[in-house]
Each structure stands twice: as structure tokens, then as C-alpha cells.
A and B are shown apart, each in its own frame.
Chain A
Amino acid sequence: MGRSNYLRIENTNHVQFRCQFQENRRICVQEQFVDGAGQTQFDDIYGLKISEPTLRELMLIQSIYTAKTPTDVATLVAEQPTPRIFYKTFLELGCKSLLSFLAFDRRAIGCLLDDSKTRALDRTYPLIYKNPDGQSALDNALELNQLQSVSKMIDHMTKYQNDPVYAHLFRRNLVDLIKLSDNCAKLFRSKILNFEIQYFEWPSLNRDRAKAYAPYNNSMFKIRYEYRRLFPKLYAADAEQKLKMDRLREEQLSDEMGYSAEAGLERGT
């Protein structure tokens, strides 16, 4: 189990192996937290579906491995009737998808991330994620200066992995991406780098509709409990408002009870 530790985004995360059904084995990265009622809850961050390679898939992997030139690899990738194998995760490959291995060739990546091919992709599971060495397919492509591949991967991520949990994949390469890639505007506009806070502990509405800024340099999973510390004035105003509403409700309730008691007395007489 320790081998899958690298999938965690932060140390507070844990890895869950869901092996209830052989054909639907998944590895899920989860965050544990305690809700307002003191109950333990588990939040799914992201998951990987584990596939078992068929003989044909093994032969294809072997063929890619023995291909002599990148052109041969690209041809092999392009000639597959369905790109599904390249989107699968195999334990035999150290939980890496074939995309990470093919990141060195822009033609192969271009073929795999083409819009017509991604129909075969299961959007529930990510295609670009952290590998055992802490890098992703994006880092591999960036290291080899495969800017077209990088651009395609960013396009793919903003379309199919548009979630802030994948922001950790840009923690170390963002400066290089800004320098080299022309697709960064899309990334900065996406939800990957724009975290919309939707927690029970945070208010969903506020009378003050002006934008508020507060510095925060901690875990994205701990921000759930940080509203009070980040926006103390708003929190105090909210608490005051809540108190007022409670008092008003109590008064209304007592008025209604008094009215019904009076009505009862009248009926009795």
C-alpha cells in the first residue's frame, strides 16, 4: 500500500483501495474531515480506475517498448482502432498511464488528446496525474521541450480535469509554463487555478457583495475551517445578523403562542 502514497496531494490525505468488484477496482485519494455535527466524513479528491491488461494490450506495450524510432511509436499509436488502452491505468506500470511514457513525442500526444479520440475517455478519472517520481506527463513533456504536447495537455486538463484538486500539478512548473507555453491564459481562467469555496462552514450568501481579498498560505483542504480567521469582520457581522434573526424568530414564536393561548381561552369561555 505504501507504493501508492505518492498519489496523495498532501500528507493529510489518505489512499483508499476499493476492490469490492474485480472489474471495478479503484484507488481513491480522500480527505478526512469532521463536519459541523462532529461526524467523520470522507471527501473524494480524485480516483484512478485500475485495469488488467489483456494479451493484446501487453503485446502493444511490448511493441511500443521495442519500437526503434519515435515515428514508429507515433504510427503504432495512430493505428490503434481505439485509444482506450492509452487512457487506462495499470498496476503493472506502477499506476502510470501510457500517456506519461509517450509524453516525449508530440505526434503521439496529439493523436491521443485529439477531440475525436477523447470520446473513449472516462471523464470520471484523470488522465494526467502525479507519477511515483512526483512529476506528471505534463512535466515530462515540458522537460523535453515538447511545447505542442504541453499545450495539448493544458487544453485537455482545462476541458476534462477542470478541478482545483489538480492545481498541485502546476506547483513546480508554472514559471516554466508562463515562459514557454502560449496556453497559460486558458489555464489561469480555468477552475484548476480558481478555487470556488463551497463548504457548509462558509456562507453561501452575504449582504456585502464587494470582492474581498485575504492572504492564505496553507492547505487547500483546511480552508474549510478558516472563514472565521480569514474574514473576521464579515464573520462578526454574520454572527450579529444571525443573533438578530434568532431573536426575531423567538419574538415571533412567543407572539404566536400568546395569540393561540388567548384564542384557546376565548374558546373555553
Chain B
Amino acid sequence: MANKRHNFVGYYLLMIEIDNPEKEATYLINWTNKTTIRQVDLNFLEDWNDANELQKYLVVSYKAGGCNTFNVFVFDVETKLVRFWHESFQLYESPVKGFLLPTKDFLILSKDGVHVINLGGKGARAVRDKLG
């Protein structure tokens, strides 16, 4: 993932073939949106697709300056299209950390507290703390 391409600030997410790194990269996102980004995290998620088959998805999260948002993208690696996009408020200057749990929940830790986003394709489930 890159924030700058040919001196243009934006959101650039590309895939490079591991066996042939010199081959032209495939862009999942090539978006010159003049937005600086920080606190980037990339995770792989295995989930059921529309055809009920297990498939790998790429989860990308970052905080964006200017618009003060924290974005979580789920990319379908096969179709190279966005599957979900979650945008929430996050002050750019304030620290934040997002990571994926084995339960397919995405946890966002910030000064505002803890946010949980269920990234799984199958329905919702109740989330409880230790007090029930």
C-alpha cells in the first residue's frame, strides 16, 4: 500500500506477484484523492463468498487526514473489487489501532474506546464483555 505515486498523494493499493516481482503490478485501488493516510494495517480474512465457498479477502485499514476518518476496506482478491467499506470518525492527530481477530471481527482501539465491526459475510452475532 502506498500514499504517494508519481508525486501525487492518494490511496494506492497494489498486488505484486511474489514469483515475478518485476511483472507489472495489479492495482486494487488507484485513487488520487489528495488524502494523507497513516496507521495502515493489512490483514487476510478467510470467509464464505456469495457462492458459499471459502475465499481469501484482504482487509485494509487506515486513518485519513483532512476528512478525519478511519476506514476499513475489505477487498475481494479474486475480483479485485471492494466488498465492504466502513468509514467512521477518527481525529487524525489522535492515536488509533485496528486489527483483525480470528472471529472475523475487526477491533478498533482509540481514545474514544473500542469499536467492533463484524466483517464476516454471515449474519450478525451478539458481542458480550466479561460481565455478560
Residues in A lying within 8 Å of B, measured CB to CB: 1-3, 5, 11-12, 14-21, 30, 32, 34, 38-42
Task: Name which residue of chain B comes closest to A15, CB basis.
Answer: B84
Which residue of A is nearest B27, CB measured?
Answer: A40
Q: Are A2 and B89 in touch, CB under 8 angstroms? A: no
Name which residue of chain A comes closest to B82, CB basis.
A14
Chain A proximity mask over B53-87: 1 for CB below 8 Å, otherwise 0: 00000000000000111000010000101111111
Bin chain B's interface residue count: 20 to 34
B88 at the A/B interface (Cβ < 8 Å)?
A: yes
Give CA–CA (A14, B74) in the complex, Å.
10
Interface assignment of B32: CB less than 8 Å from any CB of chain A = yes
User: Looking across the interface, which residue of chain A has its beta carbon closest to that of B83?
Assistant: A14
Q: With an 8 A cutoff between CB atoms, is B96 at the interface?
A: no
Q: Which of B15-23, B34-42, B115-123 contacts A (4 or more CB under 8 A)?
A: B115-123
Nearest 4 interchain pairs by C-beta: A2-B121, A16-B85, A14-B82, A19-B88
Whether B31 contacts A39 by the Cβ 8 Å rule is: yes
Asked whether B29 is an interface residue with its Cβ less than 8 Å from the other chain, the reply is yes
> Given A11-B50, A40-B27, are A32 and B82 neighbors across the interface (CB < 8 Å)?
yes
A-B residue pair count with CB separations less than 8 angstroms: 65
Output the least CB separation between A154 and chain B (Å). Answer: 30
Interface majority SS (helix, strand, loop, mixed), chain A? strand
CA distance A15 to B83 in the complex (A): 7
Chain A: which residue is nearest B29 at the CB level? A40
B43 at the interface (CB under 8 A from A): no
Question: In the complex where A1-B117, A2-B123, A40-B29 touch, is A15 in contact with B89 (Cβ < 8 A)?
Answer: no
CA distance A1 to B88 in the complex (A): 14
A254 CA / B5 CA spacing, docked (Å): 35
Separation of A54 and B10 alpha carbons in the complex (Å): 40
Residues of B within 8 A of A11 (CB): 50
Query: Are A1 and B119 in touch, CB under 8 angstroms?
Result: yes
Are B123 and A3 within 8 A (Cβ)? Answer: yes
B126 sits at the interface (CB 8 A): no
Whether A14 and B85, one on each chain, are in contact in the complex, defined by CB atoms closer than 8 angstroms, is yes
Output the least CB separation between B90 and chain A (Å): 9
Give the residue name and chain of the A residue nearest to B11 (CB): A40
Instruction: Name which residue of chain B comes closest to A26, CB basis.
Output: B87
Judge if B124 is at the interface, Cβ distance under 8 Å.
Answer: yes
A14: B residues at CB distance < 8 A = 81-85
Nearest-Cβ distance from residue A77 to partner chain B, whole angstroms: 29
Nearest CB of chain A from residue B84's CB, rounded to whole Å: 5
Give Cα A16–Cα B117 distance, bound, in whole angstroms: 13
Give the most central of B82, B88, B124: most A CB within 10 Å: B82
A73–chain B nearest beta-carbon distance, Å: 28
A20 (CB) vs chain B CBs: closest residue: B89
